[in-house]
Amino acid sequence: MPRTIALILAAGLTATACGPHTGTEEIGQAPDRIVPIQGTDRHQVILTADGARRLGIRTEPIRRAGKQTVLPASAVVYDEAGKTWTYTTPAALTYVRAPVTIGRVTGGLARLLSGPPPGTAVVTVGSAELYGAEYGVGGEQ
């Protein structure tokens, strides 16, 4: 089911025409670039400023809450195998999927058992579209 939801949401990527701004964007354009990360099955998804705006990308930092490290539950992405991930933004308009292990989810916050450190910005809106872009869902790659 999580994959189905991700696929449905990711299909919106092509409808948002997230590509280089030419003034004549067409439905179905891909993000600016998808760059393989050597030695992994992951990619950097690099958007244009217009593409990120169209997707409504929003981020929040991973933070400490008492003795726990937490991230917004909306930042957690489930792949087709049920593994949990989050998209980090190591550079402006660049998004990279990072593995996370989640404990309890309470009040919109997910307890992070392993993953990026506090202070790391994670995508809270637009993750499904990034996942779709990374794997070419709804468009060509």
39 vs 14: which has the higher pLDDT: 39
- What's the residue count for the chain? 141
- CATH number at 44 reads 2.40.420.20
Reported as a single tens digit per residue, the pLDDT across 81-105 is 999 999 999 999 999 999 999 999 9
Closest by Cα among 94, 92, 96, 19 to 54: 19
Is residue 83 in some structural domain?
yes
Residue 127 lies in a domain: yes
What's the domain range around 48? Answer: 2-135
Per-residue pLDDT at 5 exceeds 90: no
Q: What is the pLDDT of residues 18-51, one digit of tens each?
A: 333 333 344 445 568 999 999 998 999 999 999 9
Number of domains the chain is built from: 1
Return the bridge partners of 25, or none: none
Q: With respect to residue 141, please indicate whether it lies within any of the assigned structural domains.
A: no
Question: Domain for residue 140, yes or no?
Answer: no
Q: Does residue 131 carry a pLDDT above 80? A: yes
Q: Is 78 in contact with 84 (CB distance < 8 Å)? A: yes
Q: Does residue 72 sit within a domain?
A: yes
